[in-house]
Structure 1
Amino acid sequence: MEYIDRGHVQKKMRTRLLLNKVFKYLFLAATLFGLVFLAILITRVFIDSIGWLDFSFLTNRLSFNPEIAGIKGAAAGTLWLMVIVGPVTMTLGVGTAIYLEEYAKKGRLHSFIQTNISNLAGVPSIVFGLLGLTVFVRVLGFGSSIIAGGLTMSLLVLPIVVVAAQEAIRSVPGFLREASYGMGATKWQTIKKVVLPAAIPGILTGMILALSRAIGETAPLVALGIPALIIPVPGSIFDNFTALPMQVYYWTIDSALTAEYLNLAAATIIVLLVVLFLMNSVAIIIRNKFQKRY
């Protein structure tokens, strides 16, 4: 019978427990480090926005006078932008995921497409801005319009939706598909009536994450030449526009000359944070509702 050195075993156990505590507090410190700086940032933004964020700020248009400047035009431009990004991204993203998971044959071509979609998720946003500038602004002649910005943002967040939709479709149990086929349903009927309803929670989660990124991106809009000037409130997708992130960007730059612009930028950031919070809250509610059903 092999002799067991209990002292050696106890020493190893103490070492493992010590390492466990060390890594536990190390990860806790890393988490607190990020949370502390996030709290400082949000606190600073709230302090700078005090006295500037009111109803008139939301309803007034842009102005060279900080006292009466508002974000009505920028908010309308952001809303119009989401009107383009939402349907385009949902249609192309979910359609691509369905093809790759349900129809495409596994092979080199499938692996090539899958790899490139994953790689696109890590491409810097400014690259998509340059792509949009070349294709939508210059080649197609859309100029600095809402449709050019919306299509560019759609390309930016499309990989997020594709990957999220793929994961959601993969998570659907196989016996649901087999039961549908056993009852005589076609492949498309199975996808439409069984797979997609069961995958909706994951798809919606990816869609909201994509829209949250799109609504806060600035670099692609800068590349497209989107202005932050006193322009009319857009009335169609072919009108010029500005967006909330662009307004924050330009007001932050102009605060070097006019200090009050920093307060306007802080108030706009609060509006963006509230919009993102509401979007994510709605996504959670919808996701929980469908999870209970399926």
Structure 2
Amino acid sequence: MTNSEYNRYKDKAFQVFGICCTFFGLVVLAIFLVDILIEGMGRINWEFITSLPSRRALRAGILTAWTGTLWILVLTAVIAIPLGVAAGVYLEEYARKGRLSNILEINISNLAGVPSIIYGLLGLEIFVRQMQLGASLLAGALTLSLLILPIIIVTTREAIKAVPRSIRDASFALGASKWQTIWRQVLPASVGGIMTGIILALSRAVGEAAPLIVIGALAYVPFVATGPMEEFTVLPIQIFNWVSRPQADFLINAAAAIIILLFITFLLNGVAVYLRYRQQRKVKW
């Protein structure tokens, strides 16, 4: 057997192995989803969505959890999106290419893979203790903003990098300044990729529980938060609280809450896929 034949057989073996692993993962995921749907769909109703948590499973609802999730999602977006997009634009369009910029790029890429609980410890020290924000919605949003900032920065840079140089040259030839070129040509052409990265980052933030538990988010909150400085809970923490209880009815509640959390996550990912598809059809280089 020649080296080329050996390499060809090896590549096919790796492809088959990858396909088998993917199929096995999809089967396990399908079994998990079917089991969750069978257990939880019967519990989802208007009362479950609009009721406060309770020590009695049949009376417990997710009102405080999903409103807290909504608060966290909005505050995190308000904080992270401007900073992430601005940092991505600066690093791609204004920063000088050199050793310092290379170090920044490597560190930002590495930060995107740091475990989320590390960000929770960082948020506990900086926002909860040093800034004395306590276990508030604002502290949680700032912590999750740190978590998703590297993702937004990296996707923003990649989206901007995909814009052809000819668009910039044409804008400069017509007398536009660098900022006018970026604001009126580069950003509109890359908005689809930027929005995709933002939504995928926010969908990750919605599903996080570990960093919020570390900063002191509560598992039982008998009131709806009305401001960014109030204590809170979110759907992942509520699910964690219910699955840790021995009563079977609470497990059914947890399954119903998982369905709602999955719906929110799939909705955000669906919006991201739609924006990318729309941008690809709208812009053809």
Instruction: Report the residue type matching 1:232 in the other structure.
Output: F
Tell me what 1:265 maps to: 254
CA offset digits 1:240-282 (Å, max 9, x no partner): 111001101111112x3x2211111111110011111111222
- Contact 1:169–1:199 (Cα < 8 Å) also in 2: yes
Counterpart selection for 2:39 from 38, 41, 48: 48
Tell me what 1:182 maps to: 173
Residues 131-146 of structure 1: pairs in structure 2 closer than 5 A: 131-146=122-137
Secondary structure (helix, strand or coil) at the match of 2:66 reads helix
CA RMSD of aligned residues (A): 1.7
Tell me what 2:104 maps to: 113
Secondary structure (helix, strand or coil) at the match of 2:217 reads coil
Counterpart selection for 1:290 from 276, 279, 284: 279
- Contact 2:40–2:256 (Cα < 8 Å) also in 1: yes
Instruction: Report the residue type matching 1:263 in the other structure.
Output: I
Secondary structure (helix, strand or coil) at the match of 1:51 reads helix
Identity %: 46
Secondary structure (helix, strand or coil) at the match of 2:57 reads coil
CA offset digits 1:191-243 (Å, max 9, x no partner): 00011011111111111110111000010011011002133101111111110
Counterpart selection for 2:191 from 200, 205, 210: 200
Residues 134-173 of structure 1: pairs in structure 2 closer than 5 A: 134-173=125-164
Cα distance between partner residues in 1 of 2:5 and 2:207: 48
CA offset digits 1:92-133 (Å, max 9, x no partner): 111111111111101121112111111111111111001111
Task: Structure 1: state its 5+ residue gaps.
Answer: 1-7
For residues 18 and 101 of structure 1, do their structure 2 counterparts lie closer, same or farther at Cα, with a shift above 3 Å needed?
closer
Cα distance between partner residues in 2 of 1:230 and 1:78: 13
4+ residue segments displaced more than 4 Å: 11-21
- Contact 1:133–1:223 (Cα < 8 Å) also in 2: yes
Counterpart selection for 1:84 from 41, 58, 75: 75
- Contact 1:63–1:230 (Cα < 8 Å) also in 2: no
TM score, norm. by length of structure 2? 0.94
Which is worse superposed, 183-192 or 25-34? 25-34
Instruction: Report the residue type matching 2:266 in the other structure.
Output: F
Which is worse superposed, 270-279 or 22-31? 22-31
Cα distance between partner residues in 1 of 2:142 and 2:183: 27
What is the number of residues matched between the two proteins?
A: 283
Cα distance between partner residues in 1 of 2:221 and 2:71: 17
* 1:88 Cα deviation after fit: 1.5
- Contact 2:200–2:268 (Cα < 8 Å) also in 1: no
Instruction: Report the residue type matching 1:82 in the other structure.
Output: L
Task: Structure 2: state its 5+ residue gaps.
Answer: none
- Contact 1:200–1:287 (Cα < 8 Å) also in 2: no
